[in-house]
Amino acid sequence: MTRRKLDDRAARHDGAYRRAKAEGFAARAVFKLDEIDRRFRLLTRGRRVLDLGCWPGSWMQLAAERVGDEGLVVGFDLRPCEIGLPSWVHPRVGDVTELDAAALVAEFGRFDVVISDMAPHTTGDRVSDQYRSESLCRAALQLATQVLRSGGHFAAKVFQGGGFPALLTETRAAFAEVKAVHAEATRSGSREQYIVGRGLRRQA
C-alpha cells in the first residue's frame, strides 16, 4: 500500500469519523450539518427537508432527529442509502441535476429546507474540481428556489474557486440572509465552504 493511500485511510478514520460511528451516524459529515444547524436553526421540529447528495445518509439521520415524526426528509443520490432510517425519511436514487421540481412539489408539497452535501468525483485538478463543485452547488440552488416555500432555507457545500463570488451573488438574489461558512469539522487545508441562505424571497 502506498503512502498516499495510507494517509487517505488515516484521514477517513480520524477522530471525527470514529465519533460519528460511535454515535450511530453514517459519516463524519454529520458534524458539519450539526454546526450549521446550531448556528442557523434550519432543522426545527415539523419541517420538510430535501437532502441532495444524501449518501451515505448521515445528514438524513440528523435531519430526521431534528424534525421528528411530524416532519419529512426526502433524499436523493446516485447511490442507494443502505442504513436504517425512520418512516418519515424517504431516500431515493436519482440524479439531482435531472430532478423534476414540479413533480417533487406535486408529490411532497413545498419544502421548508433544502440541504446539499453534493461533491464531484475529484480528479486532482483543483480548478476542474472547483468548477464542477460550483456547478453542483448552482444546480442545488436552482432546484431550491423551485421547491422551497416562501421564507424557506438553503445550505449547500461548494469547493471555493473562481466562481464562488458569483454563487454568493445568485444566492443573495434569492434569499434575504446569506452567509458563507467554513465548518469547524472540515479537514485542515480544505477549500470547502457552505453557502447558507435563509428566507427565500420568492417562489419560482
| Strand order from edge to edge, sheet including 89-93 | 89-93, 72-77, 48-52, 111-116, 148-159, 192-200, 175-181
Our answer to whether residue 32 is catalytic in this structure is no
User: What does each C-alpha distance from 99 to 53, 94, 103, 154 come to in angstroms?
Assistant: 12, 8, 8, 17
DSSP code of residue 79: S
> Is beta strand 192-200 parallel, antiparallel or unpaired with respect to 175-181?
antiparallel
User: What does each C-alpha distance from 50 to 35, 76, 122, 129, 130 come to in angstroms?
Assistant: 18, 8, 24, 24, 24
C-alpha cell at 161: 474557486
Find the catalytic residue in 5, 21, 32, 157. 157
- Contacting residues for 32 by C-beta, under 8 A, at least 6 apart: 117, 157, 183, 185, 186, 194
Indicate which residues carry an active-site annotation.
157
